[in-house]
C-alpha cells in the first residue's frame, strides 16, 4: 500500500541578526551615556531639574546620532552592493572567461 500523503515540514529561522546586534549596541550605548552624565552632574550641580533636563537632552541627542549613524551605514551598504553588482555585470559582459573560471573555482 503506497502512502500518497506527504507531510510538508517548513522551518522558519531568524535571519535578522544585524537588527538584534544594532538594538543591543544601541540600548547599551543609549543607557550608559545618560547615566554617566547624570552621575557626573549630580556631583557638580545641586539642582535635580538641571540633571534631569541634561539627561533628557542627551537621550534625544543620542537617539538622533544613532539614527543618523544607522541611516548612513545602511546607505553605504546599498551603495557598496550597487557598485559590486555593476562591477560583476561588467566582468560578465567583458571578461566572461575569467568569470566562468571564478565561478567554477567557487563551486569546486
The predicted structure's pLDDT at residue 26: 76
The predicted structure's pLDDT at residue 7: 63
The predicted structure's pLDDT at residue 19: 78
What are the pLDDT tens digits along the chain (108 aa)? Answer: 555 555 676 777 667 787 788 788 877 877 888 889 989 999 999 999 999 999 999 988 888 888 898 899 999 999 999 999 999 999 999 999 999 999 999 999
What 3-state class would DSSP assign to 60?
helix
Residue with cell 539614527: 67
The predicted structure's pLDDT at residue 10: 74
Residue with cell 507531510: 7
End-to-end CA distance of the chain: 42
Amino acid at each position: 500500500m503506497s502512502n500518497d500523503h506527504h507531510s510538508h515540514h517548513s522551518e522558519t529561522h531568524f535571519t535578522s541578526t544585524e537588527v538584534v546586534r544594532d538594538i543591543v549596541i544601541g540600548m547599551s550605548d543609549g543607557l550608559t551615556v545618560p547615566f554617566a552624565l547624570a552621575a557626573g552632574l549630580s556631583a557638580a550641580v545641586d539642582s535635580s531639574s538641571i540633571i534631569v533636563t541634561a539627561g533628557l537632552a542627551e537621550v534625544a541627542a543620542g537617539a538622533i546620532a544613532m539614527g543618523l549613524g544607522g541611516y548612513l551605514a545602511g546607505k553605504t551598504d546599498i551603495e557598496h552592493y550597487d557598485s559590486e553588482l555593476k562591477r560583476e555585470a561588467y566582468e560578465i559582459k567583458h571578461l566572461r572567461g575569467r568569470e566562468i573560471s571564478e565561478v567554477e573555482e567557487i563551486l569546486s
